Chains A and B, each alone.
Chain A
């Protein structure tokens, strides 16, 4: 049972444009969401997170939006740069659950390619 889903395995965007990566979840216990970026042969790098009490969090070129009613979150990158080319994973955790904070449930990832 895939509790966190990234339905687009790949996305191609022109440099300078906006990249939008989507993620859906099914478990209503999730109350904290994170985005990670991963290059080949490296571990995931933390990008940005959002608590379920918010609907938007912004950090530089990265903005995460959360729609709790739709159980959907998205990561916006603007403007997109060639160095953004990587695999992006969304992850969720259930912090309200006892000892549930550290168990991250990941989506399958979306490979983002930024074309010059």
Chain B
């Protein structure tokens, strides 16, 4: 069974630009969550999508958005990039069942904003 796939692995963008990251969950998983990891803040929850709907949201500004497609693949978009957005962005896949919380992570996309 293939794991969680995130593309691209590395990205360098300039302040003010926008970026789109992609995540393909484990086959059969309907929930995709996004996390930001920075040295200072650790792993922070961004949002979760289930059946193409945003089901849960963390405390990030509106510049961070996402969507999920009918095949459960998800994209995350960050607009008007700031230097502080430099981070490892992780996608997690799970079945989405309320009682099954084990989330399986991809390798992440390392975003550098210059």
Contact = CB atoms under 8 A, between A and B. Distances in A.
Given A32-B101, A46-B102, A108-B42, A102 B31 contact: yes
A93 B42 contact: no
B42 A102 contact: no
A106 B96 CA distance: 19
B4 interface: yes
A104 B103 CA distance: 9
Given A44-B105, A105-B45, A106-B43, A100 B56 contact: yes
Contacts of A109: 42
A103 B42 CA distance: 15
A83 interface: no
Given A43-B4, A100-B56, A103-B45, A34 B105 contact: no
A29 interface: no
B66 interface: no
B99 A45 contact: no
Nearest to A44: B105
A99 B43 contact: no
Nearest to A42: B107
Nearest to A99: B55
Of A32, A93, A100, A103, most buried by chain B (CB within 10 Å of CB) is A103
A42 B102 CA distance: 17
A75 to B, nearest CB: 16
Interface in B64-103: 90, 92, 94, 96-103
Given A44-B105, A46-B104, A102 B90 contact: no
Contacts of A42: 107-108
Interface of B: 4, 6, 31, 33, 35, 42-45, 48, 50, 55-56, 58, 90, 92, 94, 96-108, 110
The 3 residue pairs across chains A and B that have the minimum distance between CB atoms: A43-B105, A106-B43, A102-B48
